[in-house]
Amino acid sequence: MINFKGPKSHKFAESPLLKLRLPSWRSRLMALLILACFAVLIGRSFYLQVLNNDFLQEKGESRYRRELEISASRGRISDRHGDVLAISTPTKSIWAIPADARLTPPQIKQLADLLEMDTKELSRKLSTEKNFVFLRRQLSPEVGDRVAALKLPGIGQDKEYRRYYPTGEMTAHMVGFTDVDDKGREGIELAYQKQLLGYPGSRSVIKDRRGQIVEDVGSIRLPQDGHDIRLALDSKIQYLAYSQLKQSVIDNKAKAGGVVVLDAKSGEILALANWPTYNPNNRERLNGAQLRNRALTDTYEPGSVMKPFTVALALDQTKVRFNTVIDCAPGKLTIGTATISDAHQHGALTVAQVIQKSSNVGTAKISRMLLPHQMWDMFNAVGFGQTSQLGFPGEVSGRLRPWKSWRPIEQATMSYGHGISVSLMQMARAYSVFARDGDMVPLTLTKLDTLPTGTTQVFTQQAAHEVRAMLELAVLPGGTAPKAQVPGYRVAGKTGTAYKVEGGRYAKKYVASFVGFAPASDPRLIVAVMIDEPGGLQHFGGDVAGPVFANVMSGALRTLGIPPDLPLRAETNQPAVKLAQKPSAPFPAAAKGHL
């Protein structure tokens, strides 16, 4: 046996390498670094979970918690008596999350039938790459319940409101309408958008990965419904204006028309009607002609309805008196290269007869006694060339050129309503100076509880009352508007028949109008009528617009219970207006030449 003696063996733990000692500072450094890392992690954890846990909370809730909007009900619109003109009704809008809406063909067919959609259209919406899509909006709650009963994945619904207009096309231009998002687009709905809209609320819910609500956490903010608006409009008078205007436009084969009814005492707008009109409950096929609120957005040359303003200014300036004689023969007046003509030849007429007979020549001669800036100041004071500050969308100011640019012929033509453009609302308001004591009150769309106190004096009381007497003559036999008479009531008003301007020139198309008020003894209502392009046998204001005025005024006075005042005039058959000045003698022959 061979005995091999090698090197002496050592245990592993006794390896010389392990016996080497590292510097003590290195081990301490490593221990400190490890402790520092733990401290940072603990601090960060404490910061995120205790001091500032909003971030993690937000990230967590974003995966399962949602805030849903709670729609607010839009405020109601009613007339002065509380009759509803616009109200919001609850509806359901059906939506889908396309990624989760994996429907079988039978389910698509069933849903399409409920939504009254084509299956191809529904399939196209469900196959879109969008995260959210509306399938149908503003459906009846019954349809929404039937859709919910199907329990289709990825299909949900929200509560919304749809605007309903009980009076339909009768008040369409006054009330207006809203779009599918419940925002005002026309009329009062747009003008009072902020007051009517309200503020939506919200509630917090928990949804699963398919978007289905599994838990209602609670309400975060309650909705605030919009404020109700009570208009000055009277539905009964509005119906009278609408129906009479519609019939007149049809009978006279006219293009369009408008009617405005004002309360002379308060400035409240009791009726505003236009034709053509539209049904705000069905707006699928609307065009601009239907939507135009012609009484506020369209202008026209008023014609002879302007003559009383020129005469009133001349009375105020003591240039003429009630019975001052104006030589209107031979029915023509040449100024420069232009000639003004009357529809019928007249000889010598008093100022009152100039209004009664509607003489262009007589009015033009009266205007030559006035300075241009005086006429401009008066036109501006009664509201021409500026909006009526109603806040109504689309309201226009009309056209009133600066007086410094007027030529003599232009001053003359403006005195009888040519070369100036106005809206029907402006003309109705301007006539309040004659229905009142020469002053004006602001117009208002909403009902007033008390009569306004701030008035603007335009003419003296005497001048206003004298012109009122002249306007009474215009509707009596011998005047231009006997068809505007109202049985049982004294009426005052003026006709207008003017050519339309097209392409900068006068075309043989007419605008027939009549503006007046009643009862003349103590005026309460002002009615302005405009018929655009009458195409029948008649085109004069007295024949076309006068009957509309008479029918609307008659019904409105009886609706308001205004007592008749015709017996006051029955005994004398003359306007019962007491004049403060004695009628003047006719102008001497030497003075007639320059009138």
Q: Note the pLDDT tens digit of each residue in 551-593.
A: 999 999 999 999 999 864 443 445 544 443 433 333 333 233 3
66-98+160-231 and 235-281+289-592 in the same fold: no
Q: Per-domain residue ranges for the chain?
A: 66-98+160-231, 235-281+289-592
Q: Which helix (H) or strand (E) holds 405?
A: none
pLDDT, position 593: 32
pLDDT, position 19: 59
Beta bridge partners of 156: 95
pLDDT, position 21: 66
Altogether, the residues listed in the chain come to a count of 595
- For 66-98+160-231, the fitting CATH number among 3.90.1310.10, 3.40.1010.10, 3.40.50.620, 3.30.300.130 is 3.90.1310.10
pLDDT, position 435: 97
Please give the positions annotated as active site. Answer: 304
pLDDT, position 579: 44
pLDDT, position 571: 39
- DSSP secondary structure, 488-501, as one string: TB--EEEEEEEEEE
Ordered alpha helix ranges (H), 262-407: 288-291, 294-297, 307-316, 351-357, 360-367, 372-381
| Residuewise pLDDT in 10s, the chain (595 residues) | 555 455 555 555 566 655 556 677 777 888 888 888 888 888 878 777 777 666 666 666 655 566 666 677 899 999 999 999 999 988 888 988 888 888 888 898 999 999 989 988 998 888 888 878 889 988 988 998 899 888 888 888 888 888 999 999 999 999 999 988 888 999 999 999 999 988 777 766 565 555 555 555 555 777 788 999 999 999 999 999 999 999 999 999 999 999 999 999 999 999 999 999 999 998 777 777 889 999 999 999 999 999 999 999 999 999 999 999 999 999 999 999 999 999 888 899 999 999 999 999 999 999 999 999 999 999 999 999 999 889 898 899 999 999 999 999 999 999 999 999 999 999 999 999 999 999 999 999 999 999 888 789 999 999 999 999 999 999 999 999 999 999 999 999 999 999 998 888 889 899 999 999 999 999 999 999 999 999 988 999 999 999 999 999 999 999 999 999 986 444 344 554 444 343 333 333 323 333 3
Nearest Cα residue to 435 out of 417, 459, 416, 453: 459
| Torsion of Cα atoms, 162 then 163 then 169 then 174, to 10° | -150
Domain 235-281+289-592 has CATH 3.40.710.10: yes
Summarised one tens digit per residue, pLDDT across range 164-199 is: 999 999 999 999 999 888 889 999 999 999 999 887
* Tokens read off for 141: 């709650």
Coil, strand or helix: which one is 526?
strand
pLDDT, position 583: 39
- DSSP secondary structure, 237-277, as one string: HHHHHHHHHHHHHHHTT-SEEEEEEEETTT-BEEEEEEES-
Phi, psi angles (nearest 5°) of residue 200: -70, 155
- Cα-Cα-Cα-Cα dihedral sign, residues 286, 290, 293, 299: positive
